[in-house]
């Protein structure tokens, strides 16, 4: 049997304030996990009906919103508008420029989900914005053994392939594992990756590293092409996220991520001047914020 990747680091994601009246547990993006190339940030967000993330810009990366409970509305300056609910996915490529708002549906008591930021390679940073949206029932599942269900949000698992196109090669898998089960997941040798625990306890790798809720567990980068995950006396729910490192300079200033300080300077100039992708930002205000 091939060796499993092991866990290098476990970091607890403590809740913090973000946006307007929102609480997030930041995973990637914390001081201990500033960047995990190609991933810039992962937040587990929890927002009541009066909170949210009002109008704000992005450039140079992708935001992936995956709902766990409740409903979230989205509106951008190009007229794109929609709602995603439990189990639904929005994969937004900001590219050269997006200004948008993300707010909970007011009839909901809670909006709970994950938002992942994926860096774009230099050649795609100024691409045209794009959306890929999938309802829960449009996301394929793998069931390698009884009691293990894997939603294949991006990439591949046990022969099941996602329809999501990833400019930065990425796998994003949602695991629900019943107690006393074991599963082995393949990961390309060159990928970096991590597990973010949502619920329960999982045992990862040949040495059964213990992963508990709200912890980020980063994988070893030893060329191993599988990771073994088991449960014992309780169920577990977690996401496994991995991708091809870009190995490019990262210069981030809030919602803008480029390759140099000079590019960041020009991004601010474009945003303030309403040009080079931000033409529609002038005088735009969302109707949902």
Tokens 């709902």 sit on residue? 67
Nearest to 248 by CA among 135, 128, 123, 127: 123
58 is in an annotated binding site: yes
- Count CB atoms within 10 A of the CB of residue 150: 21
- In this structure, are residues 104 and 48 in contact, taking their beta carbons and an 8 Å threshold? yes
Phi/psi for 272 (5° steps) reads -65, -35
100 is in an annotated binding site: yes
Q: How far apart are CA 194 and CA 35, in angstroms?
A: 12
The residues pairing with 99 across neighbouring beta strands, listed in sequence order, are 57
36 is in an annotated binding site: no
- In this structure, are residues 181 and 73 in contact, taking their beta carbons and an 8 Å threshold? no
* Residue 280, burial from CB neighbour count under 10 angstroms (0-12, 13-18, 19+): middle
The residues pairing with 22 across neighbouring beta strands, listed in sequence order, are 18, 47
56 is in an annotated binding site: yes
- In this structure, are residues 11 and 215 in contact, taking their beta carbons and an 8 Å threshold? yes
Phi/psi for 16 (5° steps) reads -145, 160
The residues pairing with 243 across neighbouring beta strands, listed in sequence order, are 170, 192
Assign residue 180 a region (left: φ > 0; alpha: ψ between -120 and 50; beta: otherwise): left
Annotated binding-site residue numbers: 56, 58, 100, 102
Annotated binding-site residue numbers for Fe cation: 56, 58, 100, 102
């Amino acid at each position: 049997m091939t060796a499993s990747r092991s866990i290098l680091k476990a970091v607890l994601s403590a809740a913090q304030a973000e946006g307007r009246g929102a609480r997030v547990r930041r995973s990637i993006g914390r001081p201990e996990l500033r960047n995990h190339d190609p991933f810039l940030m992962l937040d587990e967000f929890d927002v009541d009906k009066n909170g949210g993330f009002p109008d704000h810009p992005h450039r140079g990366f992708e935001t992936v919103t995956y709902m766990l409970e409740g409903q979230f509305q989205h509106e951008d300056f190009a007229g794109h508008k929609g709602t995603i609910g439990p189990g639904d996915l929005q994969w937004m490529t900001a590219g050269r420029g997006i200004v948008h708002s993300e707010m909970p549906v007011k009839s909901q008591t809670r909006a709970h989900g994950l938002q992942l930021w994926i860096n774009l390679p230099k050649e795609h940073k100024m691409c045209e914005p794009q959306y890929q949206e999938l309802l829960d029932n449009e996301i394929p599942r793998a069931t390698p053994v009884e009691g293990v269900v894997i939603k294949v949000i991006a990439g591949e698992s046990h022969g099941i392939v996602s329809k999501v196109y990833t400019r930065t090669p990425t796998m994003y898998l949602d695991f629900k594992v019943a107690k006393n089960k074991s599963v082995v997941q393949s990961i390309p040798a060159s990928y970096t990756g991590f597990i973010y625990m949502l619920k329960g306890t999982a045992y990862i790798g040949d040495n059964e590293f213990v992963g508990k809720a709200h912890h980020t567990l980063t994988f070893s980068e030893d060329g191993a092409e599988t990771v073994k995950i088991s449960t014992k006396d309780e169920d577990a729910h977690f996401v496994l996220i991995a991708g091809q490192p870009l190995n490019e300079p990262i210069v981030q200033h809030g919602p803008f991520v480029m390759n140099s300080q000079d590019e960041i300077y020009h991004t601010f100039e474009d945003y303030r001047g309403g040009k080079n992708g931000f033409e529609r930002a002038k005088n735009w205000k969302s109707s949902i914020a």
